[in-house]
Chain A
Amino acid sequence: TQLLEQSPQFLSIQEGENLTVYCNSSSVFSSLQWYRQEPGEGPVLLVTVVTGGEVKKLKRLTFQFGDARKDSSLHITAAQTGDTGLYLCAGAGGTSYGKLTFGQGTILTVHP
């Protein structure tokens, strides 16, 4: 069974601060996705990364895929209250071909 460990599980910060969420596994994934989920709604895709070492930027969000394709990180610069939500990483490939394995999620709260 492929596992994705996310850390931290909870993050509570002030507006304007920077933060990083980590997603780690002992398995290699062919691609990794990050989703954001707001209360009462389903997750929404933020980004997909497929190449080891790849870095993608989405405004204040920076996503990185590890060189060995076993880990990923999400960095948010100057967090805003609108960034509050649950962030989920999800890996594809290996024994779960065609399906996604989700991490347990990071609950981010940004205080004004």
Chain B
Amino acid sequence: NAGVTQTPKFRVLKTGQSMTLLCAQDMNHEYMYWYRQDPGMGLRLIHYSVGEGTTAKGEVPDGYNVSRLKKQNFLLGLESAAPSQTSVYFCASSYGLAGPWLSNNEQFFGPGTRLTVL
């Protein structure tokens, strides 16, 4: 099993350009997430999905859109990139939601995409 994969690994964009980040998981997980990681700020949730065909906003959704047309894929789009979107983007998936239980709530992360917007 590959787990969670992300493409591309690196990308440089100019301000105003658009791009799509692809996340794929082969664990048949219902839940998928997109985070961004910036120095000193941990991981911040951008958007998430609780199942095929569903998406919801996270903590920092502005400037991003997502789609989950297939259960195994979660796409993150930037329509008009800005320098403030320079970051490392992580996709994650989980079998269950985080909560007061010990099992099925582990989030499995991809290796990340390093995006620079000039």
Q: Kindly supply a per-residue 1/0 record for chain B positions 85-107, scoring 1 wherever the CB is within 8 Å of any chain A CB and 0 otherwise.
A: 00000101000011111100111
Q: Which residue in chain B gives the minimum CB-CB distance to A30?
A: B100
Question: Contacting chain A: which of B11-19, B35-43, B62-70, B72-80?
Answer: B35-43
Q: What is the minimal beta-carbon distance from A62 to any residue of chain B, in angstroms?
A: 17
Secondary structure of the A contact surface, majority rule: strand
Given A99-B48, A100-B45, A104-B42, do A42 and B102 touch, yes or no (CB 8 Å)?
no
Given contacts A31-B98, A99-B98, A100-B98, contact A43 B105 (CB under 8 A): no
Most A CB within 10 A of own CB, among B41, B42, B45, B112: B42
Min CB distance, A51 to chain B, in Å?
Answer: 9
Number of interface residues of A (CB under 8 A): 27
Within 8 Å by CB of B99, from A44, A97, A103, A104, lies: A97
CB distance from B74 to the nearest CB of A (A): 14
**A50-75 Cβ-contact flags toward B at 8 Å (1 or 0):** 10000000000000000000000000
Q: Which 3 A-B pairs have the closest CB atoms?
A: A42-B109, A92-B98, A98-B97
Given contacts A93-B98, A99-B58, 16 further A-B contacts (CB under 8 A): A4-B42, A33-B105, A41-B109, A41-B111, A42-B108, A43-B107, A44-B109, A45-B107, A48-B105, A90-B98, A92-B98, A98-B99, A99-B33, A99-B48, A100-B43, A104-B42
Chain A interface (Cβ < 8 Å from any Cβ of B): 1, 4, 6, 9, 30-31, 33, 40-45, 48, 50, 88, 90, 92-93, 97-100, 102-105
